[in-house]
Amino acid sequence: MVRRSKKTEKSQTKLQDFVIVTITEDLEQAQDRETLLKNNDIPATIKEQNDEATNTPGFAVTVPEEFLDEAHVVIESQDAYDDFYDFALEEEDDSDFGADFFEEEL
C-beta atoms surrounding 49 within 10 Å: 15
pLDDT tens string 54-101: 677 899 999 999 999 999 999 998 877 666 666 666 665 555 555 555
pLDDT at position 105 over 90: no
Res. 12 pLDDT band, cuts 50 70 90: low
The side-by-side arrangement of strands in the sheet containing 18-24 is 18-24, 56-64, 45-51
The 10s digit of each residue's pLDDT in 40-49 is: 999 999 999 8
Q: Which of 7, 4, 26, 8 is nearest to 70 (CA)?
A: 7
15-44: per-residue pLDDT in tens?
A: 568 999 999 999 999 999 999 999 999 999
41/51: higher pLDDT: 41
pTM: 0.62
* Residue 84: predicted pLDDT: 66
Using CA atoms of 39, 44, 47, 50 in order, give the dihedral in degrees to the nearest 10: -80
Going along the chain from its start, the domains and CATH numbers come out as: 17-95 (3.30.70.1530)
